[in-house]
Amino acid sequence: MPTDEQVFGQVPEKPSFPGLEEEILSFWKEIDAFKESLRQSKEENRPVYTFYDGPPFATGLPHYGHILAGTIKDTVTRYAHQTGHHVSRRFGWDCHGLPVEYEIDKKLGIKGTQDVEKMGIKKYNSECRAIVTRYCSEWESIVTRLGRWIDFKNDYKTMEPWYMESVWWVFKTIFEKGLVYQGFRVMPFSTACNTPLSNFEAGLNYKDVADPAVIVTFPLVEDPEVSFLAWTTTPWTLPSNLALCCHPTMTYVKIKDVASSKLFILAESRLVEMYPKMKKKGYKGGEYEVVEKYTGADLKGKKYEPILPYFKDHPNAFQVLNDEYVTDDSGVGIVHQAPAFGEDDYRVCVAAGIIVKGGELPCPVDANGRFTAEVTDFVGEHVKEADKAICTMLKESGRLYRKDIYRHSYPFCWRSDTPLIYKAVPSWFIAVEEIKEKLVENNTKTYWVPAFVKEKRFHNWLENARDWNVSRNRYWGTPLPIWQSEDGEETVCIGSIEELEKLSGTKVEDLHRENIDHLEIPSQQGKGMLKRITEVFDCWFESGSMPYAQQHYPFEQKEEFEKGFPADFIAEGLDQTRGWFYTLMVLSTALFEKPAFKNLIVNGLVLAEDGKKMSKRLKNYPDPSLVVNKYGADALRLYLINSPVVRAEPLKFTEIGVLGVVREVFLPWYNAFRFLLQNSERLERTAGIKFDRTSAESKSESSENIMDRWILAALHGLIDFVRKEMAAYRLYTVIPRLVKFIEQLTNWYVRLNRDRLKNAEGDVEDCTNSLSTLYTVLVNLSKLMAPFTPFFTEYMYQVLVVPENTVSRTLSSGSDVKAAVKSVHFEMIPTPNLNLLNKEMEEKMKYMQDIINLCRLARGNDLPLKRPIRELIIVHEDQKVLDTLKDVESYILAESNIKKITLSTDEKAWCKLSARADGRVLGKKLGKQFKAVLKAVQKLSHEELSKFQKDKVLEVEGVSLSTTDVLIQRTVIADEKKYRGQVSEDNISIILDIVEDDSLLEEWAAREVVNRVQKLRKNSGVAISDVLDVYIEVVKDDKKSATLEKQINNQKEFLVGRLKRPLLSMKALGTAVVVGSSEDEIDGTKLNLVLAKPSVIAGSDLKAGVQSLVESMDYDWMKENAKECVSVVLDGENVSLHRGKDYFLDAMELA
């Protein structure tokens, strides 16, 4: 906390970013910052910005995927608030569905529906309710620690009766539009969870498996000596076989197997399945003989013998059908049909009249995946486990031709991780296919980042959308609000609690099954009492209803909802393309014929460092809480959103990547911030001028210094860029630009202006301008970066802008400061001052930085930066480019430690131009002519290539070439013993004259001494403001020591300028208090250094006794009482001593 005299408070030299963040969290909590920000925006009547937050399950702790999505959401909504909007942010919880039930089934050892029925739905749902909010407090703690501002107190839960009521309204509205129907559908089915899954759920968890692949024989009724062959990887479906299917135009053959003399019919193109030797070169045949050929259409209607007897009396069955879904990429080109277990099977059999809609459907498998009584030989066995026994039975009956192992990708239940089966179930559907065109149209009205997810993946999914099965045969969920008569002919759909109470005559307070399943509704058609069907909603239907249900629409907040719909923004991971994004679009289109959202950011998946899925079992990723406590939430946030993952690409998470953000972004940023504070205090201490932050912006903008003008131009260019790109939701362009600017500020502006900021030259006005500029940039940067790194920007803002309301002072002042306190998150994003934009200045600084970097590169490892270089020659063909460098020559000289710069347009004297034609571009364009053009381009002279660069067009071998067709390369051609060169991407060539002389070596030695003194100060732990004398001794042991002494003596002026103190002889140390010492060496010569507190220094001409007396005098007494002279008694004799001759009270008096 600053004193009354200080402008800013002191900050630690080595920050703990997690510790600073904890302070900020306490500060936010004390002032109720999030709530206060909402109060301000509402009070100011700002336009509403609507955000929908997809509800997670609270049955597990948040992982990096949640943290990533949460960071994106927080960043965008904070930015919306700071650009003048009112942004409500409300957390929600997905409480129903398989994730919860699966946990309870594991806990209670429930194996199937009969176990639930036995214990009772009420008790089962009570168990589910008990674990739904198990981790809510942990979620709130972790999300808050990550800096996300979202309302947990006013959250929504999908299990609340008011939420469920809105879900009922959504369903009834769609029902009344004729978009709901009941029917059989072969669906992905989880036998572990006893429920069908939607197609997008089935697509969530594919695995590579090895299944039995069998070829089975089906003897023709008309000629039992001839058998159809059919191939399947699901032998358990064979007991339910009712037909075979061939492609109508595919060629089929009847063959005689030479080895067995048996006759078979299969696709001609799949003979290789029976005779693998056909794949080998030089196959001579002899394994089979073709007896007859057919098309699939020729085989249609032919009857065959049932393979198993369980459904042998099914009418119109056991015949060959035709359909184009049959392929010849595997199997034998004939597919067996079990309509209860295959979507195409069901469709084909219904079309052929083997199955009648609403009629009998052989489906001898229960909800637990076990055979029912119809399949007498395998009753009670799980279908997957029965495969082996079925194959054995077929072999014994002579119907198994061959059994292999087939490796393929197969869907697993995303919750139980068990194989799915496909099974016909009576279900309730939303007729998505009827609104498919509108879905595709509404998709075009939305804006996605990145766009390819919308235009390809999501568009394709909508184009191929199927009717959505929204019913689940489960217990813990929102019940479908459908009451039916016993014959199913009368159906009533309920849309509210009030409607149910009115029709049933019973008070209703909760809508879960145990509370309403017993309620009956009188028939309006004389059919007695209507009873509720048993199904509950797919939990995706509930989350897709979130925009309406979270506000209890249309029962409450009707006007508020309609003003804010569709949402301005949503964000989730790529895996939600077929999940939440899809259900939102389907329901909003069905309800209002419009999309549910306007703008969407899709993030990619966060993987473990090895590229695998993050796994708690494998422990292949660091605990997020530990990472935050070690590096800080800001570092984790910036690491995540400055990665490919914001472009919907995967990120391999590494802890070292988070550490890199701390080292490369936050520490330099913090050091620049601390450097400002230190030097504003230094200015006040040394010049008596207190830094005025209120006039800093105007001072910075009036500065004529080129570096000040550049960094302000860069700042306002950045602000302009961020505003434009954030309006387009392109985090992947914004974050790199912000990080780059921090690097420009810390690595270039601060470093190149250290002496100005320190007032090293004593030019107070120039120092004040540079401090004002740095202050202005840091304050604006804190506002601009606040949505991205909310903690550090708040900390910096509190110190820089409102030091009287610093965190520690605010907390000690109590809650009465809330109304007056400021936060960076209450500020608006800065607006760019277009008058300060200066593209020429930014280009000039880019050239300068490139040249400095090229000089470092050219030096290599053997010419360190401390060694001065005689001359730098900068070459470019355009004099205008060289002219722009004149303003920054002094910076290039200082940063590159170079004595002289020469500018030249004579490229030919220093560089060689060569070229080659770009084969990737011209190869396709020119064809055979390319070789001649390639040779001609390689022969082009320096002058021709130079002209080509200016004209941008060149004709070679009758072909007109542009600069995009030809790659031109510059090579420095100077004498390598005297020069070293490099070339920039802007075709600026630099050449260093590396020949050394005595003056250069002297300066190098002096720089080495400065370096050793600075290291000693650092190692001694002294403050920058501590004034200490420096004593030096060169150890005399060879000629080199004399040389070093001479070099140091010749560079006195340079050394005093850098150290602000003269180097004193070790002989003069006397009784001075030593603070630190070191034994060092420079180029092999030993060197002793001592740092000591200032003391009285004796003149060199004093007699020994007087000298000893002077050196023993008390420094503080002398400073107070002997400012000009002093009299002493020595051996009974009065001696007058004069300051500046006989004694010195400041080492600078000797300089």
Point out the residues that are catalytic: 55, 94, 540, 576, 580, 613, 616
Query: Of 358, 347, 292, which Cα lies nearest the Cα of 322?
Result: 347
| Rg of the chain over all Cα atoms, to the nearest angstrom | 41
CB atoms within 10 A of CB 462: 22
Distance CA 880, CA 894 (A): 23
For residue 79, the one-letter residue type is Y
Distance CA 198, CA 11 (A): 57
**DSSP strand pairing (151-157 vs 90-93):** parallel
CB atoms within 10 A of CB 379: 13
Which residues have CB under 8 Å from 808's CB, separation 6+? 1, 23
Query: Of 1081, 1072, 945, which Cα lies nearest the Cα of 1012?
Result: 1081
Query: Of 41, 792, 179, 820, which Cα lies nearest the Cα of 468?
Result: 179
Buried b (16+ CB within 10 A) or exposed e, 151-178: beeebbbbbbebbbbbbbbbbbbbbeee
Which residues have CB under 8 Å from 763's CB, separation 6+? 756
CB atoms within 10 A of CB 391: 18
Query: Of 442, 321, 405, 367, which Cα lies nearest the Cα of 187?
Result: 367
Buried b (16+ CB within 10 A) or exposed e, 635-660: bbbbbbbbbebbbbeebebebebbee
DSSP code string of 533-544: -S-EE-HHHHHH
The C-alpha angle 719, 724, 726, rounded to 5 degrees, equals 90
Distance of CA 84 to the CA centre of its chain: 26
DSSP code string of 931-990: HHHHHHHHT--HHHHHHHHHHSEEEETTEEEETTTEEEEEEE-S-TTTEEEEE-TTS-EE
Measured over the CA atoms of residue 725, residue 731, residue 732 and residue 734, the dihedral's sign is positive
DSSP class of 929? G
Contact indicator for 971, 987 with CB cutoff of 8 Å: no
Which residues have CB under 8 Å from 134's CB, separation 6+? 58, 59
Distance CA 369, CA 390 (A): 15
Which residues have CB under 8 Å from 815's CB, separation 6+? 30, 31
Longest dimension (CA), the chain: 147
Contact indicator for 784, 829 with CB cutoff of 8 Å: yes
- Which position has the token pair 């630099």? 990
Q: For helices 136-145 and 17-31, give the axis angle rounded to 10 degrees.
A: 110
Distance CA 377, CA 309 (A): 11
**DSSP strand pairing (263-267 vs 226-232):** parallel
**286 — phi, psi (to 5°)?**
95, -5
In the structure, how many helices (H) and strands (E) does the chain have? 46, 42
Distance CA 671, CA 830 (A): 23
Distance CA 1137, CA 1122 (A): 9
Which residues have CB under 8 Å from 629's CB, separation 6+? 18
